[in-house]
Structure 1
Amino acid sequence: MITASYDLAACVTAVGIAFFTFNIGRRGTIIMGNIAAIIGSVIQAASYSVPQLIVGRLCTGFAIGCISSAVPTYLSETGIEIGDRGPANALNAILLISGVPLAYWVDYGFTKMDNQASWRVPIIFQCIFAFFSGGTMWFLPDTPRWYYARNRWDEGDAVLARLNDAPVESEKVQATRREILGAIEAELEANSSLHWKQFLTMGIVDNTRMKIVRRLCMCFWLPMIREWMGSSLIAYYSSVILSKVTDPHLVSLIAGVLNTFFALGCVPLYFTIERVGRRSVLLYGAIAMTILISIFTVLVAISPTQAIRWAAVAVIFLFLFVFGYAWQGCVWLYCAEIAPLEYRHIGGAATAFGEWLMTFITVFAGPIGFDQIGWYFWLWVISGNVIAIIFVFLLCPETGGKTLEQVDYLFVNKGFAGLRKNFDVGDEALDVWKEEKEKSVVMEERVAER
């Protein structure tokens, strides 16, 4: 429970902050998260009781709930060229997962000590990153899309001009501005058909023109399915898992290398995400991971010889490498892209909620499952990978090569994404998009009159 309290707090935070983060912005949410991370680290490092330790982990869980819901959105909304979003979020994934092996090796080094510093120093060490992240954000503006959504036109124009390195009057800045305002107008019109009861169907029933409910539900389900596929289970309990298949005296060392391999898997995504596309990365990655985790489960189930156990270790290395490439960074990027502008803070919160809810379930139930049913627990992980294939094939259109405003109109098309002949903006959606771009001019005139 001490371990899982962090994920539980992140899960609850993701839901709670959805009601006010639109007011404080993406930048404000990130800064608030880093402040909470520093407070939580200090409380944990100064702990002399289990309740105090749990309170500290709840604070850091609140911090990661804020940060994980806002950072992907901030990166996506500050990308200017269509090809900016993929590499930016891929780099974010590389740095994010690099923290896993870094934390593991720091912890591994301090386990050689036999005093209070062996656990207090590693905990307080994370403050360095929170100071750097929060301090950097203090000097950065919020995103132009957030400023426009909040009717802060002058600030939105100024940031958009800075990002384009061009004057506000330039055609490039004005074209982006018109697209953003057109998307805002379309989403405001779609609000009339939006009702909270539609969320109870998880997006199956969605009467909104641009499928707002379905998109927000997808933001929840994609990261939840990702955790169901086994990433946090392996990252948190790599030592426990490896102890079942390899020599005890090698477990700690191999677990460190395994987590490092996980981080290395994210690196190729930076160079290929825009060329391969989000949908292909998610779909074919899930297929490869299903095959690998099935092989691993079979090897663990039989494992009578040393050679078979080492083969299982090799397979789980490959699984995590593919996982890092295909699902670790791409999910955050995809969810930030499909969330509607007016509801992108809710989309970010839904993404973080799904991520940390399933992480909590996995971290809390994983050790119990391994202890009670052994290798049969991996059948649950296999089922998550199979669900991922079906989900992406049927529901996820390709968002690469399009602006965030064009992505809005991908969901105007009817039918399942995987059963269409192509995944581009269809004729019906393109007509709607052109209509809304024309309406954005009218919207600007209305605002000027007000």
Structure 2
Amino acid sequence: MGHDAGVLGGVVLHKPFLNAIGNPTGEWVIPWISSSYSLSACITCLIVATFAFKIGRRGTILLGNAAAVVGSIIQATANSVAQLTVGRIITGFAIGCISSAVPTYLAETGVEIGDRGPANAFNAIMLISGVPIAYWIDYGCIKSNGQWSWRVPIAFQCIFALVAGLCMLFLPDTPRYYYAKNRHTEGDDALERLNDAPIDSEQVQRIKREILIAIEAEEEAKSSLHWKAFTTSGIIDHTPMKIIRRLCICFWLPMIREWMGSSLLAYWSSVILSRVGAAPSLVSLLAGILNICFALGCVPLYFTIEKVGRRSVLLYGACVMSVPMLIITVLQAVPATQSIQWAGIGIIFAFLFVFGYAWQGCVWLYCSEIAPLEYRHVGGAFTGFGEWLMTFITVFAGPIGLTNVGWKFWLWVLSGNLVAVVFVFFLCPETGGKTLEQVDFLFSKSAFVTGMKKAERDLEEDEGENGNERWIELQGKTAEQHVEIKG
């Protein structure tokens, strides 16, 4: 995913690449080739919502990896704009499947509450590491003028897809998925493997009880859920568990993330950096360093996400990122000198480092945690749809906008950072330190952060082994009344 996002940006200015696809003219052709990948991923995420619950998180990931192999082969052997675009579209389909399912899979296989954050943070590190890997492969290959100089970097992504697919063959689906599909034997087996404990142990029984109670609560909420409610539930959600509001957050949060400018800088770093007037080899070198900086920003999240909390990382990260983006906008508006351009590049480095920490991995984690169990595949699809829709808009319109309106285009990016602050402050409660089932309870009490404070205090009154029983009590139910646990 990260490799494919970065690999084309390093070769779009390379003459052998342009010669191979017929030296296309028109300012829209190259942006279209790049953004067709994002558009395909965007549409795929909606399609995935219709079948992901049938084939499971695991099946969706396997399908995505298989499509990634096919798409990368078509791209690497391309001799025309049409073939390259078809390859990008197939690869986009693959990424739509993978990006919809992986965060949910990681969240639902977390054994302990504190496992979800580090697991998704590590996933973000691996994802973004693909971008600098792609750029450094590009940097090493473009020194040659042969056709292999751009075909090898593109074909290299097959390795990632094959390794991931082979590993997935030996892993089960999530216990929550199995129980939701009434496949209790497989769910029990998955819980035993994840916890390294027998199904009749106290720990495993506690987890199973939470999952089954949450499933029943969501079944009861189904009667009030209808798709027409999406037209108003972004503002007012009358469903008992605020299902539609939560799915809307899954859509808007990643869309805002891409609005903040990361994709523009990742996809078109070579083009943006070339405006300094440096030699092409230096531009490629700087682009590689820039993307290493981006990946390094994700590393601290692994160690701090559970201590700092999701809401704080997102909120304060957006506040901090607004400052360098404002500086970038101002520097683009004043008369350009080489020193100002180099200063702008330095600020871009700082922005991407903070973005890597605050928003790159945390958004996927947060959306996978707030989506209700039976609609978690829909939440994952909405998350991917929001991200890839805005990525398509940014990647396609970005270079055109920079050419036609200049520095004013950065005002659009700056506004995304400011909107992020307001959105998180009012609509995104803290999900860290809670089970996925307890998150259901928070949203059942209020649609806004301020209204959830009392519910959070209630949950925090009892911790440790009594936390689950306290949650059941707050729901007004008991496990014995609603589910029969079989060892």
Supply the AA of the counterpart residue of 1:85: R
Contact kept in structure 1, 2:245 and 2:447, CA below 8 Å: no
SS class of match (1:142): coil
Structure-2 separation of matches of 1:444 and 1:421? 29
Structure 2 equivalent of residue 362 of structure 1: 394
| Alignment of 1:347 onto 2:379 | yes
CA 1:441–1:24 in structure 2 vs 1: closer, same or farther (change >3 Å)?
Answer: farther
Structure 2 equivalent of residue 116 of structure 1: 147
Shift in Å, 1:100:
0.5
Shift in Å, 1:41:
1.2
Structure-1 separation of matches of 2:237 and 2:423? 17
Q: Unmatched 5+ residue regions in structure 1?
A: none
Count how many residue pairs are aligned between Structure 1 and Structure 2. Answer: 447
Post-superposition Cα deviations, 1:63-94, rounded to whole Å, max 9, x if no partner, equal 00000010001111000111000000000000
Structure-1 separation of matches of 2:326 and 2:154? 36
Structure 2 equivalent of residue 333 of structure 1: 365
CA 1:437–1:349 in structure 2 vs 1: closer, same or farther (change >3 Å)?
Answer: farther
The worse-fitting range, judged by mean Cα deviation, of 3-12 and 326-335 is 3-12
Contact kept in structure 1, 2:429 and 2:452, CA below 8 Å: no
Contact kept in structure 1, 2:213 and 2:483, CA below 8 Å: no
Supply the AA of the counterpart residue of 1:409: F
- TM-score of the pair, normalised by structure 2: 0.88
Structure-2 separation of matches of 1:138 and 1:256? 33
SS class of match (1:48): coil
Structure-2 separation of matches of 1:432 and 1:87? 24
CA 1:183–1:421 in structure 2 vs 1: closer, same or farther (change >3 Å)?
Answer: closer
Post-superposition Cα deviations, 1:169-224, rounded to whole Å, max 9, x if no partner, equal 11111111110001001100001111111112352231111100000010000000
Shift in Å, 1:441:
3.4
Supply the AA of the counterpart residue of 1:338: I
Contact kept in structure 1, 2:445 and 2:455, CA below 8 Å: no
CA 1:435–1:417 in structure 2 vs 1: closer, same or farther (change >3 Å)?
Answer: closer
CA-atom RMSD, angstroms? Answer: 2.0
Equivalent of 1:81, from 90, 112, 132?
A: 112
Shift in Å, 1:423:
7.5
CA 1:304–1:63 in structure 2 vs 1: closer, same or farther (change >3 Å)?
Answer: closer
| Alignment of 1:159 onto 2:190 | yes
Structure 2 equivalent of residue 207 of structure 1: 238
Q: Which aligned runs of 4 or more in structure 1 are off by greater than 6 angstroms?
A: 429-432
Structure 2 equivalent of residue 6 of structure 1: 37
| Alignment of 1:66 onto 2:105 | no
Contact kept in structure 2, 1:70 and 1:348, CA below 8 Å: yes
Equivalent of 2:307, from 275, 289, 300?
A: 275
Percent identity, aligned pairs only, is 67
Structure 2 equivalent of residue 45 of structure 1: 76
Equivalent of 1:441, from 461, 480, 485?
A: 480
Equivalent of 2:259, from 223, 228, 232?
A: 228
Structure 1 equivalent of residue 6 of structure 2: none
Contact kept in structure 2, 1:398 and 1:423, CA below 8 Å: no
Contact kept in structure 1, 2:254 and 2:386, CA below 8 Å: yes
Structure-2 separation of matches of 1:56 and 1:413? 47
Contact kept in structure 2, 1:187 and 1:342, CA below 8 Å: yes
Post-superposition Cα deviations, 1:384-403, rounded to whole Å, max 9, x if no partner, equal 00100000000000000001
Contact kept in structure 1, 2:120 and 2:364, CA below 8 Å: yes
Shift in Å, 1:405:
0.6
Post-superposition Cα deviations, 1:270-306, rounded to whole Å, max 9, x if no partner, equal 0000000000000000000011100111122225443
Contact kept in structure 2, 1:25 and 1:146, CA below 8 Å: yes
Contact kept in structure 2, 1:268 and 1:325, CA below 8 Å: yes
Structure-1 separation of matches of 2:341 and 2:115? 43
The worse-fitting range, judged by mean Cα deviation, of 407-416 and 241-250 is 241-250
Structure-2 separation of matches of 1:122 and 1:425? 52
Structure 2 equivalent of residue 130 of structure 1: 161
Shift in Å, 1:255:
1.4
SS class of match (2:456): coil
Supply the AA of the counterpart residue of 2:193: R
- TM-score of the pair, normalised by structure 1: 0.95
Q: Unmatched 5+ residue regions in structure 2?
A: 1-31, 462-468
